[in-house]
């Protein structure tokens, strides 16, 4: 009987947090340090990080580099130890393809149009001249819920599809959504129940796409030219030089001068007929029209960086292990084609996480007593491009990955759903005392228990675990930087406030941030970090990730 009781006590000790009551006690060193994380402090930092001067922190961009230097400067001021391969920076080489104007052109019945003047590359390449029949495809959209099928009644296989929409292209699509539709109408499976113009045309076998500038785009041609002259980059060391071009399907953007030449001799010119809503407007263009398209590219390389710092632990043995905290400091940059505000400031996504980790680093650096394990801080670049920075760090870690006992990822913790908000885009936004906690129980029962115990003995946030479901259609588990750590066997916790009306839009600004909520969440993460740092043994991994969570 005594052996049975002893075994039970030992089992409970293995899965239960050890010091949570001590860590969160009012006068504990951890609690005193956490109290130094304030809403005013975070508002100060975020007002710089998400300012217009940072130009949306695209990867790569000068705004991102400036933000990296700001973070590094603060770490240096607080005597946080550099942990990159170049001081605080982990340098990353990006390899890109940029348009080659000298080798690219569009020719229509012998009339030549050069790249830049009237023709811009959106994506893809056709080093050899592409000659194919033309089909006009309206705005190109398929939205079954609204009975919209812009390509109905025409065969586009092997043909170049000409598209025209009454508005600006964006990162989301080549032409705006048809009049009377919104993103919430895009229900069901992409490619089957709905499809953006590029996806739909490719699925039906098109050889390429020509997008005609709307009046608004034509009036901003110099900005449009600058936007589409940018390179398409990949992480050099993570992408073989022989890898196929994911943008091999050529898509070009043309001026209205080119459009008028395209439609010379046709029964209808959509620029004059107002046929910008797709659907029945689709028709096959004259078979006598000779069109030749060449879209050439050349390679260039640019540098970007993760920002990495470390605070050594106080225990002479345990300090060789680390608790990692991370956030992505990039966003989606500027859209000069947008009407009105063109800067996507990314205050919540992920200026809030960037600021939270910065505030944690400051509070820990100034704490008279340090936790037992070391604490690693990584600000990842390129998350918005496909988790580039975390993929690079976990592939080429500057700290041995086997020494990382847990990774805590903060990606969007600054927005709150207001009482009475009926906007469907804010349906899943968390409340003032709520936060989505993802992955804490997926690999380690002990980690999940520790996370809850710290919260329950401290600020008592409402932890919402709905996105832990293996069949979560949003797959948030695979959409932020923690994913690359989990793939390598590191247990993680991901803190997230939920998508909202300003997600990836210019409205994601500092003025809409709930800094009191940010303070509560950040202090909770801080004490969770400290608790993990002081554990006698690292959290036991006793679960295998569901197969659905190993995919992005």
Question: For residue 123, what pLDDT band results from cuts at 50, 70 and 90?
Answer: confident
In DSSP terms, 343 is beta-bridged to 334
**What CA dihedral angle connects 239, 201, 181 and 502, to 10 degrees?**
10
φ, ψ (nearest 5 deg) of residue 523? -65, -40
Instruction: Reply yes or no on whether the pLDDT at 1 is more than 60.
Output: no
- Does residue 484 register a pLDDT over 50? yes
User: Is 309 in contact with 82 (CB distance < 8 Å)?
Assistant: yes
- pLDDT of 6 strictly over 60: no
pLDDT of residue 10: 41
Q: Which residue has the tokens 């991370």?
A: 326
Confidence of residue 127 (pLDDT cuts 50, 70, 90): low
Rounded distance between C-alpha atoms, residue 57 and residue 71, angstroms: 13
Q: pLDDT by residue (tens digit) across 199-254?
A: 999 999 999 999 999 888 888 888 888 877 777 789 999 987 655 444 567 888 99
ω before 269 within 30° of 0 (cis)? no
Q: Work out the average pLDDT over 442-448.
A: 96
With a pLDDT cut of 70, the percent of the chain lying above it is 91
What are 297's strand-pairing partners? 99
Return the pLDDT at 370.
97
pLDDT beyond 50 at 16:
no
pLDDT tens by residue, 349-403: 999 999 999 999 999 999 999 999 999 999 999 999 999 999 999 999 999 999 9
Q: How far apart are CA 347 and CA 336, in angstroms?
A: 19
- Section 32-55 average pLDDT: 98
Q: Are the C-beta atoms of 138 and 276 separated by less than 8 Å?
A: yes
pLDDT digits (tens, 9 = 90+) for 324-341: 999 999 999 998 777 789
Q: How far apart are CA 431 and CA 429, in angstroms?
A: 7
Rounded CA-CA distance 284/343 in Å is 39
pTM to 2 decimal places: 0.82
By the 8 A CB rule, do 492 and 408 touch?
A: yes
Q: Determine which of 119-128, 221-230, 239-248, 304-313 has the lowest per-residue pLDDT on average.
A: 239-248
In 229-377, which residue ranges form alpha helices assigned H by DSSP? Answer: 256-262, 270-273, 353-365
pLDDT in tens, 394-416: 999 999 999 999 999 999 999 99
Q: 326: closest CA among 265, 399, 225, 244?
A: 399
To the nearest whole number, what is the mean pLDDT of the chain? 89
Percentage above 90 pLDDT, the chain: 67
What string of DSSP letters covers 366-387? T-SS--SSEEEEEEES-GGGTS
Q: Please choose, from the candidates 306, 107, 95, the residue with its C-alpha nearest in 3D space to the C-alpha of residue 210.
A: 107
28-50: burial string, b at 16+ Cβ within 10 Å, e else: bbbbebbeebbbebbeebbeebb
Least Cα distance to 105 among 95, 96, 116 occurs for 116
pLDDT above 80 for 503: yes
Q: Which residues partner with 125 through β-bridges?
A: none
Residue 47 has pLDDT above 70, yes or no: yes
- In the structure, what pLDDT confidence band is assigned to residue 279 with cuts at 50, 70 and 90? very low
Neighbours of 383 (CB within 10 A): 26
Q: Characterize the bridge pairing of strands 462-464 and 434-438.
A: parallel
Orientation angle between helical segments 515-534 and 353-365, nearest 10 degrees: 50
Q: At what angle do helices 445-456 and 515-534 cross, to 10 degrees?
A: 130
Is residue 477 over pLDDT 60? Answer: yes
What pLDDT is stored for residue 248 in this prediction?
65
pLDDT at 21 over 70: no
Do 411 and 493 meet the contact criterion of CB atoms below 8 Å apart? Answer: no
Q: What is the average per-residue pLDDT within 61-69?
A: 97
Q: What is the pLDDT of residue 3?
A: 45
- Phi then psi for 471, rounded to 5 degrees? -100, 20
Check pLDDT > 50 for residue 11.
no
Helix (H) or strand (E) holding 381: none
- The pLDDT assigned to 312 comes to 98
Q: Is the peptide bond before 527 cis (omega within 30 degrees of 0)?
A: no
Task: Report how far residue 153's alpha carbon sits from residue 192's, in angstroms, rounded to the nearest whole number.
Answer: 17
Q: Is the pLDDT of residue 17 over 60?
A: no
Q: What is the pLDDT of residues 183-199, one digit of tens each?
A: 888 888 888 999 999 99
Residue 552 has pLDDT above 80, yes or no: no
Relative to beta strand 160-164, strand 434-438 is: unpaired
Which phi and psi (to 5°) does residue 415 adopt? -115, 150
Which pLDDT value is given to residue 203?
93
Residue among 243, 234, 300 at smallest CA distance from 98: 300
């Amino acid at each position: 009987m005594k052996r049975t009781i002893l075994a039970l006590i030992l089992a409970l000790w293995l899965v239960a947090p050890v010091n949570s009551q001590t860590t969160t006690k009012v006068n504990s060193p951890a609690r005193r340090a956490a109290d130094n994380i304030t809403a005013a402090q975070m508002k100060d930092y975020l007002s710089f990080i998400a300012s217009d001067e940072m130009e949306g922190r695209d990867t790569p961009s000068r705004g991102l580099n400036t933000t990296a230097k700001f973070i590094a400067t603060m770490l240096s001021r607080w005597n946080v130890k550099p942990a990159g391969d170049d001081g605080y920076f982990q340098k990353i080489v990006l390899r890109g393809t940029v348009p080659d104007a000298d080798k690219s052109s569009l020719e229509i019945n012998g009339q030549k149009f050069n790249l830049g003047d009237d023709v811009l590359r959106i994506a893809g390449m056709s080093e050899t001249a592409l000659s194919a029949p033309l089909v006009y495809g309206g705005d190109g959209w398929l939205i079954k819920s609204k009975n919209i099928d812009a390509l109905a009644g025409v065969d586009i296989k092997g043909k170049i599809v000409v598209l025209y929409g009454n508005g600006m292209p964006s990162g989301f699509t080549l032409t705006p959504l048809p009049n009377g539709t919104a993103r919430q109408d895009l229900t069901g499976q992409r490619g089957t129940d709905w499809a953006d113009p590029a996806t739909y045309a490719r699925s039906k076998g098109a050889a390429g796409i020509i997008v005609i500038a709307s009046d608004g785009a034509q009036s901003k041609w110099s900005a449009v030219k600058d936007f589409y002259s940018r390179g398409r980059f990949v992480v050099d060391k993570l992408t073989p030089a022989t890898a196929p071009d994911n943008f091999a399907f050529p898509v070009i953007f043309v001026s209205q001068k080119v459009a008028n030449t395209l439609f010379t001799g046709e029964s209808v010119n959509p620029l004059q007929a107002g046929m910008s809503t797709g659907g029945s407007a689709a028709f096959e263009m004259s078979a006598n029209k000779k069109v030749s398209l060449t879209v050439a590219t050349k390679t260039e390389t640019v540098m970007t960086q993760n920002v990495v710092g470390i605070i050594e632990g106080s225990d002479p043995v345990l300090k060789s292990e680390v608790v990692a905290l991370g956030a992505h400091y990039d966003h989606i940059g500027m859209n000069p084609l947008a009407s009105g505000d063109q800067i996507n400031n990314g205050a919540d996504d992920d200026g809030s996480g960037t600021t939270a980790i910065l505030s944690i680093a400051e509070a820990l650096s100034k704490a008279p007593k340090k936790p037992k394990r070391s604490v690693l801080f990584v600000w990842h670049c390129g998350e918005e491009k496909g988790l580039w920075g975390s993929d690079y760090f976990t592939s080429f870690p500057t700290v041995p990955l086997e020494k990382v006992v847990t990774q805590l990822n903060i990606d969007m913790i600054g927005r709150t759903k207001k009482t009475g908000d009926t906007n469907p885009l804010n349906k899943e936004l968390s409340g003032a005392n709520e936060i989505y906690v993802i992955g804490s129980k997926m690999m380690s029962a002990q980690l999940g228990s520790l996370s809850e115990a710290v919260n329950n003995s401290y600020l008592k946030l409402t932890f919402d675990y709905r996105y832990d479901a293996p069949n979560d259609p949003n797959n948030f588990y695979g959409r932020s930087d923690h994913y690359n750590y989990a793939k390598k066997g590191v247990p993680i916790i991901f803190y997230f406030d939920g998508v909202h009306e300003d997600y990836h839009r210019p409205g994601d600004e500092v003025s809409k941030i709930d800094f009191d909520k940010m303070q509560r969440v950040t202090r909770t993460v801080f004490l969770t970090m400290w608790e993990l740092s002081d554990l006698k043994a690292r959290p036991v991994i006793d679960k295998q990730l569901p197969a659905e969570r190993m995919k992005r």
